[in-house]
């Protein structure tokens, strides 16, 4: 299956020395068993208790907190990890979470998304922190709510999980950050988003095979042509709903200067999509520091 192929190009942005993009600790193909367990009603209580601790720590900076991921869907089998979505006024305020034992892990595959993790006595917590206009919010809530309210989709998702667990590829870090198990769910998630008429915008670093294919298609470059293997090169894809509609290549030259090497969009989304992606990149750069952007 295509989603289990090795990425033809390493996700170079993870090699950036900037602290917001920590080196990826999973750049290997060492097996790591993915465990899926029956639904546990205690997950709701664990989320509620943890969300209170987060609220106490972040105070007025926290705008909203949501339980997301499979443990948030009643009755669904899941990996025993609580995923929490925190909407915050400003990303930099999230570092206070270290006070309640969360480790900051960087942006991972999503720019302007801060990922924190904590291993508690009972369970592991994955904390996703974004500001209020981030596309990650609507995407995750749409998928969660659709699965919870549509029994046929619920069953299909549970069956897919059971099948993926049987596949040896599911227990490999096939593409840097992602296990085969997670990549195996990608097409199903996109199908559900389309059924739910999800049309939100969200931006990702270009990471796995399908995204690289879209990147090269939109920029009309050769899929097999090597891209610059240097630090501070960043490759972005912009999704409209479940489909990639624009892409960009950014290079950070030094602490003050960045160059937009290329940006393009599918014809029917051309101006709006490029404007959205460019505005997002500018916001991402502003969050990293004071940069002048050239090459527009």
Domain count, the chain: 2
Residue-wise over 42-67: b if at least 16 C-beta within 10 A, else e? ebeebbeebbebbeebbeeebeebbb
* Structural domain includes residue 228: yes
Residue 67 in domain = yes
Q: Using 50, 70 and 90 to split pLDDT, how confident is the model at 220?
A: confident
The token pair at 15 is 């090699």
What tokens were used for 122? 């009972």
- Same structural domain for residues 146 and 91? yes
Q: For the domain that residue 261 is a member of, what is the CATH number?
A: 3.40.630.30
282, 163: one domain: no
230 & 118 share domain:
no
Residue that terminates a domain, selected from 146, 178, 195: 195
pLDDT at 7: 27
Stated pTM of the model: 0.85
Are 157 and 207 members of one domain?
no
| The domain boundary residue, chosen from 145, 165, 195 | 195
Predicted pLDDT of residue 33: 79
Question: Are 185 and 219 contained in the same domain?
Answer: no
Average pLDDT for residues 20-35, to the nearest whole number? Answer: 52
Instruction: Assess contact for 90 and 131: CB atoms under 8 A.
Output: yes
126-163: pLDDT as tens digits: 999 999 999 999 999 999 999 999 999 999 999 999 98
pLDDT at 120 over 60: yes
- The yes-or-no verdict on residue 9 having pLDDT over 50 is no
Closest to 241 measured CA to CA, from 192, 177, 182: 192
In a domain, residue 7? The reply is no
Between 4 and 278, the higher pLDDT residue? 278
114 and 234 share one domain: no
> Which of these, 149, 144, 115, lies nearest to 26 by C-alpha position?
115
280 in Cβ contact with 203 (< 8 Å): yes
User: Is the CB of residue 259 less than 8 Å from the CB of residue 249?
Assistant: no
- At 94, which CATH number? 3.30.460.10
Q: In angstroms, rounded to a whole number, what is the distance separating the alpha carbons of residues 282 and 296?
A: 11
Q: Any residues with CB less than 8 A from the CB of 36 and at least 6 apart, and which?
A: 77, 78, 79, 161, 162, 165
Check if the beta carbon of residue 29 is closer than 8 Å to that of residue 173. yes
Q: Are residues 41 and 187 in the same domain?
A: yes
Q: Give the residue, 219 or 15, on which the prediction is more confident.
A: 219
239 occurs within a structural domain: yes
Residue 2 lies in a domain: no
Does any domain span residue 138? yes
Whether residue 250 is predicted with pLDDT greater than 80 in this model: the reply is yes
Q: Is 271 part of a structural domain of the chain?
A: yes
The percentage of the chain sitting over the pLDDT mark of 90, rounded to a whole number, equals 67
Instruction: Kindly state whether residues 26 and 111 are assigned to the same domain.
Output: yes
State yes or no: pLDDT of 21 exceeds 80: no
| Domain end call among 174, 195, 216 | 195
Beta strands in 13-123 (DSSP E): 62-68, 81-88, 103-106, 114-119
The CA distance from 84 to 122, in Å, is 16
Tell me, yes or no, whether 117 and 140 share the same domain. yes
**Is 4 inside a domain boundary?**
no
Q: Which residues contact 81 (CB under 8 A, 6 or more apart)?
A: 69, 71, 123, 124, 125, 126
Looking up tokens 């943890």 gives 50
Q: Is the pLDDT of residue 214 over 60?
A: yes
- The verdict on 177 and 288 lying in the same domain is no
Q: Over 70: is that where the pLDDT of 217 sits? A: yes
Tell me the three state secondary structure of residue 207: coil
What is the pLDDT of the chain when averaged over all its residues? 85
Q: In the predicted model, is pLDDT for residue 30 greater than 90?
A: no
pLDDT at 1 over 90: no
Lowest mean pLDDT of 83-97, 173-187, 250-264, name the range: 173-187
Alpha helix stretches (DSSP H) within 127-269: 135-149, 151-166, 180-184, 186-195, 209-219
Answer yes or no: do 139 and 237 share one domain.
no
Span 211-232, mean pLDDT?
Answer: 77
Structural domain including 106 reads: 16-195
Same domain flag for 256 and 186: no
pLDDT of residue 15: 31
């Amino acid at each position: 299956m295509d989603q289990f192929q090795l990425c033809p190009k390493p996700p170079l942005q993870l090699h950036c020395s900037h602290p917001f993009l920590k080196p990826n600790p999973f750049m290997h193909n060492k097996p790591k068993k993915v465990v899926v367990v029956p639904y546990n009603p205690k997950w709701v209580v664990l989320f509620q208790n943890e969300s209170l601790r987060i609220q106490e720590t972040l105070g007025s900076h926290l705008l909203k907190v949501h339980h997301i991921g499979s443990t948030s869907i009643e009755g669904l089998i899941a990996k025993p990890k609580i995923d929490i979505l925190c909407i915050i006024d400003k990303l930099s305020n999230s570092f206070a979470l270290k006070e309640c034992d969360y480790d900051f892990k960087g942006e991972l595959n999503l720019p302007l998304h801060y990922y924190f993790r904590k291993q508690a006595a009972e369970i592991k917590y994955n904390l996703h922190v974004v500001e209020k206009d981030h596309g990650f919010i609507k995407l995750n809530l749409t998928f969660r709510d659709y699965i919870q309210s549509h029994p046929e989709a619920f069953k299909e998702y549970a069956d897919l999980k059971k099948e993926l667990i049987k596949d040896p590829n599911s227990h490999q870090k096939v593409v840097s950050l992602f296990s085969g198990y997670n990549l195996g769910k990608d097409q199903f998630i996109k199908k559900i988003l389309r059924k739910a008429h999800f049309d939100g915008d969200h931006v990702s670093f270009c990471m796995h095979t399908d995204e690289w294919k879209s990147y090269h298609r939109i920029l009309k470059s050769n899929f097999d042509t090597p891209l610059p293997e240097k630090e501070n090169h960043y490759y972005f894809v912009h999704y409209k709903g479940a489909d990639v509609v624009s892409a960009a290549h950014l290079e950070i030259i030094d602490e003050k200067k960045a160059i937009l090497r290329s940006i393009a969009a599918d014809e029917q989304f051309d101006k709006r999509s490029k404007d959205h992606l460019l505005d997002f990149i500018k916001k991402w750069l502003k969050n990293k520091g004071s940069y002048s952007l050239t090459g527009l």
